[in-house]
Amino acid sequence: MVKTGDTLRQGDTDTMVFRKTSADTGGEYLEVEATYGPMGDLRPPAHYHPIQTELFQVLEGTLVFLLDGEEKTLNAGDELHIPKRVTHAAWNPGDVPARFVWRTTPAMRTEEMFKTMWNLVEDGKMGRHGNPRPPFLQSMAMMYGFRKEWRLTAPPYPVYLPLCAALSVPARLLGYRAIS
């Protein structure tokens, strides 16, 4: 169980601090303060949330968002609301860390998803910021387990849902789990 103040890490530069958990807000929302180090050419996978909205407030540095195929740059003091079902991705294009507040409404199981994803990155089982990497069975198990919170845009959901469902069976048999 995640508690207020818990911190997740990816490598030396990326952190996520839980400011308000689902338990704190009665499931209304989850709020984290995140820091992304410079990402170079790395772009997280485009995704969407079928039920949730997100609010980003940049505190320091710069974040670039890909929203339905168009880039939008946010600097310190800027904020962005992303409605449910809008395809997006965010990254730090700069040379210095970007620090921002990130609110997800409703919370659902997003804190478990973040904890799982960030732990998989630290264990070398997933690429930085959710990029799938071998073994793909781990990614399939996670994507299927959190399909109500997070969906990749490619391949399209009607294609990857049955694929994830089918591959989650051998994934479980081999010891891979959706939740770490």
Beta bridge partners of 8: 16
pLDDT at 155: 81
Distance CA 7, CA 119 (A): 11
pLDDT tens for each residue of the chain, 180 residues long = 899 999 999 888 899 999 999 999 999 999 999 999 998 878 888 999 999 999 999 999 999 999 998 999 999 999 999 999 999 999 999 999 999 999 999 999 999 999 988 888 777 776 666 666 556 777 778 888 899 999 988 888 888 788 888 887 887 788 777 765
Beta bridge partners of 36: 98
Which residues are CB-contacts of 113 (< 8 A; sequence separation ≥ 6)?
A: 142, 146, 149, 150
Phi, psi of 140 (to 5 degrees): -60, -45
Q: What is the pTM of this model?
A: 0.89
Domain annotation for the chain: domains and CATH numbers: 7-108 (2.60.120.10), 112-173 (no CATH)
